[in-house]
Amino acid sequence: MSKAYQVIIVGAGPAGIFAALKLASCGVTGVLLLEAGPELARRSCPARERHIPCVRCELCHLTSGWGGAGAYSDGKLTLSTEVGGHLPEIVGEDRARELIAQVDALWRQFGDTGPIHGLPSDEVEAWQKKAALAGLRLLLSPVRHVGTEQIRQLLGSMQQHLAENGVEIRTQCPVEDVIVSDGRLLGVRTERGEELEGQFVVLAPGRAGANWLQAVATRLGLRLTRNPVDVGVRVELPAVVLQPLTDVLYEPKLVYYSSRFDDKVRTFCVCPYGEVVTERAAGVTTVNGHSYASHKTDNTNFAVLVSKHFTEPFDDPIAYGQSIARLANLLGNGVLVQRLGDLEQGRRSTPERLARGIVTPTLREATPGDLGLVLPYRYLVNILEMLHAMDELVPGVCSRHTLLYGVEVKFYSSRLYLRPTLETDIPNLFAAGDGAGVTRGLAQACASGLLVGKEIAERLT
C-alpha cells in the first residue's frame, strides 16, 4: 500500500460529497475522495455546447466528474420519502425523513436554493382528487428547485469547503477494484495501479458507475437483488398545457397502473419551461431534461417511465435497458424524436412533419424517426395509456403535436444488500447513492451519504 487513509470515498457525486461533508464536520481526518471524471470547471459537453449529435465521449461529462449526474441535473430536491429511492425501506420512515431534512438544511448553508413547491394545501388536495378520477395517483411530494446553473455553484462551494477542511480530492482518478483479503477490507486499487490503504471505504459511484459496482460486488461475493429497470420516453409539450399543475406543484409525481398489463408507469423529472438534453451512460446515448432558475423556454418536458421487474433466470436488467437504448442510437445516430400523432398513426416523423407542429424541439440534434421500431409493444401500450390518463387530468397532453424523445433509461438496477447503516457484508465497506441501487434522486442520494458519514465518524471517534 502506497498511502494510508482513514476513509476512502469512491465517487464525488451527491452521495460521496455529502459523506465527506459529514466526516469533515465531525473532525475526521485522513479522508480521500476519488472521482473518475474531471473537475467541475473542466466538465463540458460538445453536443450541448454546439447543438450537435452526441459525439459519444469515452467518459460522459454530463454524468461523470465532480458533482456526478447532480451537477447537470436541474437541481430538484424532493423533500419526501415517497419517491427517490429505497432509503425508507432500509433505515425506516422516520430516520429517512430526518435525513432528508438535514440534507435540505445543508444545501441551504451553501447558497440560495429557492422556495419549496407542492406543500400540502387545499389546491394540492383538489389536484389529487382530479388525478384519482383520471385513474392516476398524485403523490404529495414537496420539492425545492435549485436550478441547473445554481446547483453547479453550490457544488463548487462544497468542493472548496472540503478542501479547506482537509479532505484530499483526486479527480480523473478511476478506481479499478476494492482490495479485500480473507474477508478483511484493505483499501482500493486505482486504474493507475496505485494501492491505497483505507480503514473504511465508501462506494458511491453514481448511475454512471452502476456497471462497475455490480462487477466489484460480484467479484467480492456481495449479495445483489434486482431492482426494476425503468425504460420510457421524454415528453415535450407547450408549457402552458401543464402550467395549471406545475404552478402549484412544480414537479407533479404521477403514478399509473396500466389496464392492459397492470404495469407501473410514472412521471419522472418534470422540467417546467425547461429543455431536453442528451447524456451518455453505460455506453449508450439516452435523453434527460433540465430546468434553469434564470431563464425559461416555451416548453415543459417530463419522462414517462415503465418499471419492470424481471424474474429468474434473467438477472441483467441493466443490459436489457442498454439494448433498447442501443437500438434507438442505431436508428437515429443518437436520440429519436417523434410526434405523438405520428406514433399513434403508425408512421415515422419526418423533418417536414416536425416543422408543421406547434412544438419546437429544444433538443435540436434529435433525429425524427419512429419509436415504434424501438420500444417493445408492452412499453408502448403502457406509455400511451399513461399519456391519455394525463390528458384527462390536464387536457392537451395528448395533442398530436406533443413530442416524444427516446429513449430514457435509468441505470440503477442492481441493488446491494445493505445493513441499516448501509454497510455491506464486508465489515467497514459501505455503499451509497444511485449506483448502489439505494436511491433514485438527488435528495435521497445526499441523505445516504450523510448516513454513511455519520456512522463512520461515530466508529472513528
In this predicted model, what pLDDT tens digit does every residue of 136-152 receive, in sequence order? 999 988 999 887 778 88
| Res 207: pLDDT | 82
In this predicted model, what pLDDT tens digit does every residue of 281-307 receive, in sequence order? 778 899 999 887 778 999 999 999 998
pLDDT exceeds cutoff 80 at 455: yes
46 or 135, higher pLDDT: 135
* Contact residues for 135 (Cβ-Cβ < 8 A; gap 6+): 256, 389, 392
C-alpha cell at 364: 435540436
| Res 57: pLDDT | 78
pLDDT exceeds cutoff 90 at 26: yes
Burial of 218: CB neighbours in 10 Å, binned 0-12, 13-18, 19+: exposed
pLDDT exceeds cutoff 70 at 173: yes
Q: How confident is the model at residue 412 (pLDDT cuts 50, 70, 90)?
A: low
If you ran DSSP here, which 8-state letter would residue 85 be given? B
In this predicted model, what pLDDT tens digit does every residue of 202-220 receive, in sequence order? 999 988 888 899 899 999 9
Residue linked to cell 429519436: 336
Q: Name 234's bridge partners.
A: 303, 405
Which bin fits 85, alpha (ψ -120 to 50), beta or left (φ > 0)? left
If you ran DSSP here, which 8-state letter would residue 84 be given? S
In this predicted model, what pLDDT tens digit does every residue of 82-131 receive, in sequence order? 888 899 999 999 999 999 999 999 999 998 888 898 889 999 999 999 99
Percent of the chain with pLDDT strictly greater than 90: 73
pLDDT exceeds cutoff 90 at 192: yes
Q: How confident is the model at residue 352 (pLDDT cuts 50, 70, 90)?
A: very high
| Res 380: pLDDT | 97
Residue 182, CA distances (Å) to 186, 190, 208, 217, 220 in order? 10, 21, 29, 15, 11
In this predicted model, what pLDDT tens digit does every residue of 357-391 receive, in sequence order? 999 999 999 999 999 999 999 999 999 999 999 99
DSSP string, 373-440: GTS-HHHHHHHHHHHHHHHHHSTTTT-TT-EEEEEEEE---EEE---TT-B-SSTTEEE-SGGGTSBS
pTM for this prediction: 0.87
Q: Rounded distance, CA 281 to CA 413, Å?
A: 13
Q: Rounded distance, CA 424 to CA 352, Å?
A: 54
Q: What is the mean pLDDT of the chain?
A: 92
pLDDT exceeds cutoff 80 at 71: no
pLDDT exceeds cutoff 60 at 413: no
In this predicted model, what pLDDT tens digit does every residue of 239-292 receive, in sequence order? 999 999 999 999 999 999 999 999 999 999 999 999 999 988 778 899 999 887
Q: Rounded distance, CA 451 to CA 432, Å?
A: 9
Q: How confident is the model at residue 62 (pLDDT cuts 50, 70, 90)?
A: confident
Domains of the chain, earliest start first? 3-117+142-225+415-460 (3.50.50.60), 228-410 (no CATH)
